[in-house]
Amino acid sequence: MAEAYARGGRYGKALAAFGAAGALAVGAAAPAGASEAGAGMRGERYVALGDSYTSAPGVPEQTGGDCARSSVNYPSVTAKWLHTRTFKDVSCSGATTDDMRRAQGANPPQLNALGKGTTLVTVGIGGNDIGFGDIIGTCAQLSVTDPAGAPCRTKYTDGGKDQLTARIAAAAPNVAQVLKEVRKRAPHARVVIVGYPTIMPDNGVGCFPAVPIAAGDVSYLRDTEKHLNTMLKQQAAKAGVRYADTYGPTVGHDVCKPAADRWVEGANPENPAAPFHPNAKGEEAMARAVLGVAKKR
């Protein structure tokens, strides 16, 4: 399954060793108010852009070819709840902000899916710009050297500068440029940039060795993700678009929770999903957050 979502090696080298699980279909019940929202928004022409947290690799059924798109990812669930008139999901596993404007393998630039008739756009991007797959892989490998310490934080802050903070800062103008281009190509659309859900536990020291992240690195990676989400929220505000917080609604359903309560899988998924990615329940939770923002006129 690693090959199914390892776009050009971006995830493969870091995550392939973790493996993945079998298939299990999960239904998405519409949240309260979704029927009313859908009834009033049936004319929506919705386009979804994004990376693997949008496409949902490993979550059945996979329909996106080498982009590892799921039929129950958050754009698909959102489109279903909104009873959209048209829906295009061009999200692709491994996508960076550059892939919004350039071809990603055999897949055309994601921005090409937009048009003047588009009325709703969601954008889930930024994690690959800071090297999500490599970060997780590196931290997992280093965890065995000092399980009670913070070897990953030590590596990324060597020399007194936090490399991941610097990467987030460097990604900000790229995100801004994507949002600017979205507004240009879809001038009449409501645009929602979607944050990343809770991955590491929101408190505590994690669950090594079940999830191979050293105790001190759990808080480091948690704070890094929060910093990334803050950047995305800030760029949304600067661009005059909306921000969907998926972190808050998913607290308590992180990689260390029991399989039945887990919405983001760990190193060895027990529910169908790519390692360290949302499963079907996680995608549904993200859809609820997106719907709450998108339905506001």
Does 35 qualify as catalytic in the annotation? no
**3-class DSSP assignment, residue 270:** coil
- SS3 labels along 117-129: CCCEEEEECCCHH
Q: Catalytic residue, from 52, 70, 93, 143: name it.
A: 52
Q: 160 — alpha (psi -120 to 50), left (phi > 0) or beta?
A: left
Q: Catalytic residue, from 55, 70, 93, 277: name it.
A: 277
User: Which letter, b or e, does each residue of 115-128 get, where b requires 16 or more Cβ atoms within 10 Å of its Cβ?
Assistant: eeebbbbbbbbbbb
- Alpha-carbon dihedral angle through residues 144, 148, 153, 159, given to the nearest 10 degrees: -100
CA distances from 2 to 6, 7, 90 (A): 6, 9, 20
Q: Provide the token pair at 65.
A: 């070819």
**Cα 188–Cα 192–Cα 198 angle in degrees, nearest 5:** 175
Going by C-alpha positions, the residue among 181, 169, 180 that lies closest to residue 126 is 169
Regarding beta strands 120-124 and 86-89, do their DSSP bridges make them parallel or antiparallel, or are they unpaired?
Answer: unpaired
Going by C-alpha positions, the residue among 258, 257, 263 that lies closest to residue 279 is 263
Does 70 qualify as catalytic in the annotation? no
- Beta-ladder partners of 244: 194
**Residues annotated catalytic, as ranges:** 52, 277
